[in-house]
Structure 1
Amino acid sequence: MPPKKDAKDDGRIAENRRARYDYEIGETFECGIELKGAEVKSLRSKNVSFADAFAMLDGGELWLHSLKIDRYRQQSTIEELDPSRKRRLLVNKGELEKIRKLTEERGYTLVPLKLYFKGPWAKVLVGVAKGKTKEDKRDSIRAREASRDVARALRRG
C-alpha cells in the first residue's frame, strides 16, 4: 500500500504571494508547462523562484518568462539549461483567445500565481491582473487588519 499523503502535501510546489499584494487578480487559468530534462526533478525538490516572473502572448503562444528553476543537483552537465529561460505554457485555443482578449486592455497583464503538480503533470495557475497603486495596497492592508481585529474580538467573546 502506498504511503498516505500529508495534509499539507497537496502537490503545491511554490506560490507567488507577492503577486496578490502587487496586483488585483481577475480571472485565473490553469496551464500546463513545457519542461526539459531534469527540470521536473528539480520542481519535485522545490528548487523554484517566482521573483519577477510573468507570462506573455508571443506568436499565438503563451510563454512564461523569468521563472527560475534551479539545476537539479544530480543532473549531468552535458545538457546545461538556462534556469531563467522562457517556457511554453500549454492551454487550449479557446482559453488562449480569452486570455488574448483580456490582456489587450490597457493595464492588464498575466502573472503566475501558483506552481503545482496535478497527478504527474506540472501546472501553473496564471491570473489576469491589474497593477495596484500605493493607495490600493494600503487599503487592502487596512481591510486585512480590520478583519483580523474582528476575528480576535470574536474569539475573546
Structure 2
Amino acid sequence: MAKTANNKTGKDTGKSAKGGTIALNRRARHDYHLEDRFEAGLALQGWELKSIRAGRANITEAYANIRNGEIHLLGAQFTPLISASTHVVAEERRARKLLLHRSEIDTLIGRVQRDGYTVVPTALYWKGNKVKIEVVLAKGKQTHDKRETNKERDWAREKQRVMRRHNKNA
C-alpha cells in the first residue's frame, strides 16, 4: 500500500487515508464478553471526516443505542479542528446513525432486547475511502470474571517464560 503525504512539507507522515485503523476500543475486551461482530458505516458530517483524517477520533466511551428501529452511536468523540468552518456548531459527542442492513439491525435489536446484550464499538477504520466501524454484541463482565481473565493471561505469560527458559537450556 502506498503511503500518502499528509502535511504541507510533502513528507510522508506514515498515515494513509485509504486504509488502516483510526481508533480502537481496547477497554471493550476487558469489560465485556465479545460475541458477534458487525461492520457498519457511519453517517458523518464534513467536519467530522476532517477531524477523523487528522486523527482526532475517540471511541473508548462509545456505545450503541436503539431509537425508532435504527441504531445510533453515542459517546464517540470527534474533536473539531480549529480550521473547520466557524458557522457550524460542532457537537463532539452527538448521536451518529450506524448504517447497517435491515437484517443486521433486526438481529441486533432482537439480541439486545431479548437476551440482554449491549452493542459496543471496538474499532474505527478506513475501508477504501469510507469510514467503517466494527460493532460487537457483548455481555458485561462481572468483577470476578475480570479477575479470572487477568489470572489466565498472567498464567499464559508465565508458561511462555518457563518454556523459553526450558528451551534455552536444552
* Mapped pair 1:96 → 2:98: no
Whether contact under 8 Å (1:107, 1:131) holds in the other structure is no
Once the two structures are superposed, residues 5-54 of structure 1 have per-residue CA deviations (whole angstroms, 9 ceiling, x without a partner) of 99996510110011110111111100000100221121112112224211
Distance apart, 1:106 and its partner CA: 4.5
* Mapped pair 1:119 → 2:128: yes
Question: How many Å separate the matches in 2 of 1:8 and 1:21?
Answer: 28
Number of equivalent positions: 157
SS class of match (1:126): strand
* Mapped pair 1:76 → 2:81: no
Distance apart, 1:63 and its partner CA: 0.2
SS class of match (2:55): coil
Structure 1: 5+ residue stretches without partners: none
Q: Percent identity?
A: 35
Q: How does 1:1-157 map to 2 (within 5 A)?
A: 2-3=2-3, 11-156=20-165, 157=167
Distance apart, 1:125 and its partner CA: 0.5
Question: How many Å separate the matches in 1 of 2:156 and 2:116?
Answer: 29
Whether contact under 8 Å (2:78, 2:92) holds in the other structure is yes
Q: Name the TM-score, length of structure 1 as normaliser.
A: 0.91
Structure 2: 5+ residue stretches without partners: 5-11
C-alpha distance 75-109 of structure 1, shift in aligned 2 (>3 A): same
Question: How many Å separate the matches in 2 of 1:89 and 1:54?
Answer: 11
Which amino acid is 2:108 matched to? I
C-alpha distance 105-8 of structure 1, shift in aligned 2 (>3 A): farther
Question: How many Å separate the matches in 1 of 2:150 and 2:21?
Answer: 26
Question: How many Å separate the matches in 1 of 2:91 and 2:62?
Answer: 15
Whether contact under 8 Å (2:26, 2:60) holds in the other structure is no
Q: After TM superposition, where is structure 1 displaced by more than 2 Å over at least 4 residues in a row?
A: 2-10
Q: Name the TM-score, length of structure 2 as normaliser.
A: 0.84
Question: How many Å separate the matches in 1 of 2:32 and 2:129?
Answer: 30
